[in-house]
Amino acid sequence: MTSLPTLILASQSPRRAELLKRLSLPFEVRPADIDEESLGHLEPAPMAEALAAKKAQTIWQPGQWVLAADTVVALDTEVLGKPRNPEENKAFLRRLSGRIHTVYTGFAIQQPEGHLHSEVVEAKVAFRDLQEWELEWYASSGEGLDKAGGYGAQGLGMVLIERIEGDFYTVMGLPVSRVWQRLYELGYFGQS
C-alpha cells in the first residue's frame, strides 16, 4: 500500500487513539471542544451522530481527512452521560444492573474537499445482577468516571457484562470495522 494521508482524529479519547494505532493508520490527535449540551434535545441515536459530525466540522480544514466519534449510552430513553463522581457512578451501575441498555456510537468522516459522511452504529449490552460490593469496588476504581454510562467494557468493566449484541468496539467508542469500510468506500486508501 502506498503511504496513506494522515487522519486527524478529532477526539481526546485515548481509546479511539489506541484503536487507530492498532490498525496502523497514520493519525494525529486534535480534540474538538464542542458544546455537547446544545444537542441534548435529540434522541440518543441522532444525538451521537450529530455530535460526531459537529466534532469533525469543528476541526476540519481543506485538504484534511478528519475522523470524529461520539458514544451515547441509553437506558430505555434516558441518556447516561459521564458520572461526575464515584457516588453518581455507583448510582448509574445500580440502574444498569440486571438490565439491557444500548450503546450508540456515531462517527463522522470529513474528506479533503469537505464532504461529510456520518452514521451511527448500535450495540446492546446486558449487565449481570451486580452485588452492592461490586458497585462499591467498581466506582472506587475511578475507571468509569471519564466514560459514557460510567463503565469501560475494555477494562475492569468487563466483569460487569453478561453479553454484548453487536460490535464490541462500538461499545469501546469506535466501530472500527465499519469505519474502515467507510474509509475504503470514500477513497481514503486510494482509488478503488
Ligand X SMILES: Cc1cn([C@H]2C[C@H](O)[C@@H](COP(=O)(O)OP(=O)(O)OP(=O)(O)O)O2)c(=O)[nH]c1=O
Q: Which of 148, 160, 179, 183 binds ligand X (CB under 6 A)?
A: 148
Helix (H) or strand (E) holding 67: strand 65-75
Helix (H) or strand (E) holding 127: strand 116-127
Kindly state the number of chain residues that form the binding site for ligand X, as judged by CB under 6 A. 22
Please say which residue, 152 or 182, places its beta carbon nearer to ligand X. 152
Q: Where are the beta strands (DSSP E) in the chain?
A: 7-9, 27-29, 65-75, 78-80, 100-110, 116-127, 161-165
Q: Give me the 85-124 binding string for ligand X, x by CB under 6 A, dash otherwise.
A: ------------------x---------------------
Tell me the C-alpha distance between 73 and 105, whole Å: 9
Tell me the C-alpha distance between 113 and 105, whole Å: 25
Q: Which of 19, 108, 109, 171 binds ligand X (CB under 6 A)?
A: 171
Please say which residue, 46 or 189, places its beta carbon nearer to ligand X. 46
Measured at the CA of 156, the angle between CA 151 and CA 161, to 5 degrees, comes to 65
129 has catalytic annotation: no
Q: Which of 8, 11, 138, 160 binds ligand X (CB under 6 A)?
A: 11
Q: Which stretch binds ligand X (CB under 6 A): 37-45, 65-73, 116-124, 135-143?
A: 65-73
- DSSP labels, 30-42: ------GGGGTTS
- Does position 70 bind ligand X by CB under 6 A? yes
- Does position 83 bind ligand X by CB under 6 A? no
- Does position 182 bind ligand X by CB under 6 A? no
Identity of the residue numbered 189: F
- Does position 151 bind ligand X by CB under 6 A? yes
Tell me the C-alpha distance between 52 and 107, whole Å: 5
- Does position 135 bind ligand X by CB under 6 A? no
Helix/strand/coil for 167: coil
Q: Which residues is 126 bridged to in the sheet?
A: 100, 163
Q: What is the contact surface with ligand X in residues (CB under 6 A)?
A: 11-13, 15, 31, 55, 69-71, 73, 103, 147-149, 151-154, 157, 171-173
- Positions marked catalytic: 70
